[in-house]
Structure 1
Amino acid sequence: MANSPDVDEPTREYPAVPDQDATAAPTDVRRSGFARLLIFTGFVFALMVAGCLGLRAINVLPTFDNPFSDQTVDRSQPVLLQSMRDLNRYVAADGTFQVIVDLQQDKENIPDFLVNRRTLFVGSGTVEAYVDFGALSGDALKVDETKKTIELTLPAPAQSTAALDMAKSYVVAEERGLLDRIGDAFGDEPNKQQRVYQLAQERITEAARSSGMDQRARDNTQRMLESLFARLGYTTVTVTFANP
């Protein structure tokens, strides 16, 4: 009798059941070996780090700084001596001045929002008042050893041009037109502030002339000469300044 395809054939054999311990053992061994390898690697790495830190502490290994730290490279050329001269002047007084320069540069018949450069600058500078002993004539000094008197005729005190102190000078504000901003973006002019500096220098120099520094220089020079010749034994020292 033929068997129906829907009816399972009887069998005397039972499927083998896999051994749980046999299949789990290799997996546990692999996991255990990987853990041991990981621990050993970490231990070796810790020893290497500790060794490097120890060697750095005793200056055996070089230090390793931030690879992206800021660096400054000075490519300046050697200093070139242009001139040297002997000075025979006695600086009798100096003055420090401060001026606020408000300079606007624009074009006629062009709106300021297009072409305009206005700079507000605070300038600080020093002016010296001095007497030039190198300009003394032959009869400028008259000495009477018997009476212990000296007569001196000196040139009038002169003033130097103001020297700006850039450490104390600064730009407060700057306004620029649209075209000026575009021009600055595509081409920077290194001397664009030169006119502002020159104007501050001229203003300070002019202010020093009316500050009374000349009279202070006369008084200081006279006291210096009187003290100097008094130590040399002269009792009367007369100092006369020429007209400026």
Structure 2
Amino acid sequence: MPALLQDPARNAETDGDAPRPPRSRPRVPVTLVATGVGVALLVPLAGQVAEWIPGFGNPLEQEVVDRSTPPLLLALEDLSEYRAAEATFQVVIDREKDTRFVPSVISGERVSFLATGTADAYVDFDRLTTGGVTLSPDGGSATIELPAPRIGDVRIDPENSRVVDRDRGALDRVGSLFVENPSDDSELYALAERRLSAAAADSDLADRAEQNTRRMLITLARSLGVEQVEVRFEPAPGDAS
């Protein structure tokens, strides 16, 4: 039968039954496979050579280089001044003013003043950023050098400071009636501050500041992985030892 007179449906069915060629799978290059096999054989072989020849290291051994910033130095850079100890002192100021050749019952004044104040001992940490810290190459030990602790100014506590007794002569009592502020105790406060400052300097406040600072720095360093820490203090000014 001529091709023009054939049934189209039959032709479509016939075409559908025609076999299709199989799909081709991707092939791995032979060179890539050979390279992988060579590397796999070379790694154990290099290890065997390192064992056979003394002093010959494994050429394929990985080397770890740690460029991390020492955490101890970063922690100390945030400190500028450390208040290491605080002490409270009390003193009784007994001051008497007399008029020459005049009895005290007529002219004069005697005051008893109880003063309470606090003083701080602090350590200056500014030197830590200029070579005051020596850290070992492995980061396992450190040496910290600091200046001697200093004692700050005494702060008088007005709530716990008061005049215990005040005794004036007759003329002073009368004269106080015409004065706007007859009880000016500023001189008493200034005198008490000097006395308390001397008491703080003679106390063990600076020694306690050294102990507390050393304990704090060792605890901080060990928390950051530095096991051996030595803290040194310079001699205080005027300390012959």
Fold shared by both chains (TM-score > 0.5): yes
What CA distance in whole angstroms lies between the structure 2 residues aligned with 1:156 and 1:196?
31
Partner amino acid for 1:212?
D
Q: 1:125 to 1:215 in 2, by over 3 A?
A: same
1:147 deviation in Å? 5.0
Unaligned runs of 5+ in 2: 1-78, 237-241
In structure 1, the partner of 2:168 is 176
1:142-187: CA deviation from partner (whole Å, max 9, x where unpaired): 1113152111111100111211111111111101122221221101
Q: Establish whether residue 197 from structure 1 lines up as the match of residue 189 from structure 2.
A: yes
The one of 132, 144, 149 aligned to 1:140: 132
What CA distance in whole angstroms lies between the structure 2 residues aligned with 1:191 and 1:226?
52
Unaligned runs of 5+ in 1: 1-86
Partner amino acid for 2:198?
E
In structure 2, the partner of 1:93 is 85
Q: Would you say the 8 A contact 1:136–1:155 is kept in 2?
A: no
In structure 1, the partner of 2:117 is 125
Q: 1:197 to 1:149 in 2, by over 3 A?
A: same
What CA distance in whole angstroms lies between the structure 2 residues aligned with 1:130 and 1:89?
7
In structure 1, the partner of 2:235 is 243
What CA distance in whole angstroms lies between the structure 1 residues aligned with 2:127 and 2:139?
27
Q: 1:137 to 1:180 in 2, by over 3 A?
A: farther
In structure 2, the partner of 1:218 is 210
In structure 2, the partner of 1:228 is 220
In structure 1, the partner of 2:177 is 185
Partner amino acid for 2:222?
A
Give the number of equivalent residue pairs. 158
Partner amino acid for 2:148?
A
Q: 1:175 to 1:191 in 2, by over 3 A?
A: closer
Q: Establish whether residue 106 from structure 1 lines up as the match of residue 82 from structure 2.
A: no
What CA distance in whole angstroms lies between the structure 2 residues aligned with 1:156 and 1:229?
20
Q: Would you say the 8 A contact 1:90–1:130 is kept in 2?
A: yes
Q: Give the helix-richer structure, 1 or 2.
A: 2
TM-score (norm 2): 0.61
Helix, strand or coil for the counterpart of 2:232?
strand
Partner amino acid for 2:89?
F
With 184-193 and 198-207 compared, the bigger mean Cα shift is at: 184-193
Helix, strand or coil for the counterpart of 1:167?
helix
Partner amino acid for 2:203?
S
1:108 deviation in Å? 2.7
